[in-house]
Amino acid sequence: MGMFDIINAELECPKKKEAKTREIQIKWRELRVLDHFKIGNSIEGIFSEYDNNWVSADYLCNSCSKKTKGKFGDYIKTDDQKWHYCFIKMEKSEIKRVLSEKDFNKLGIEKYAVYD
């Protein structure tokens, strides 16, 4: 599992059509300290395969994931998590754009880095 940095971006759930700020967890640099980034921020020390490239990633969708009632409120069980793909445009270590899979496919771009 390990530590992640997070990119916050406005993305729409393709199933519920609900737009809200989503958290995209990334491991794109050697030193990760749970930093939060948004469009326009630079990621210092980014690995070269992700810089100056479109990068596919995914995010946990709180909109369409099934919620379970618990003692301390609603939560999402691991088996009930729904994930969606998004694409992030990096340029000179700066986050330029974050697009949903649907919007990215409209661009017709075929070459991008895959973040696993």
Backbone phi, then psi, for 107, in 5-degree steps? -75, -20
21-35 in b/e burial notation, b at 16+ Cβ within 10 A?
A: ebebbbebbeebeeb
> The pTM is what?
0.90
**Confidence bin at 32 (pLDDT 50/70/90):** confident
Query: Which is it for the CA torsion 58, 61, 65, 67, positive or negative?
Result: positive
**Confidence bin at 24 (pLDDT 50/70/90):** very high
**Confidence bin at 3 (pLDDT 50/70/90):** confident
Residue 85 has pLDDT above 80, yes or no: yes
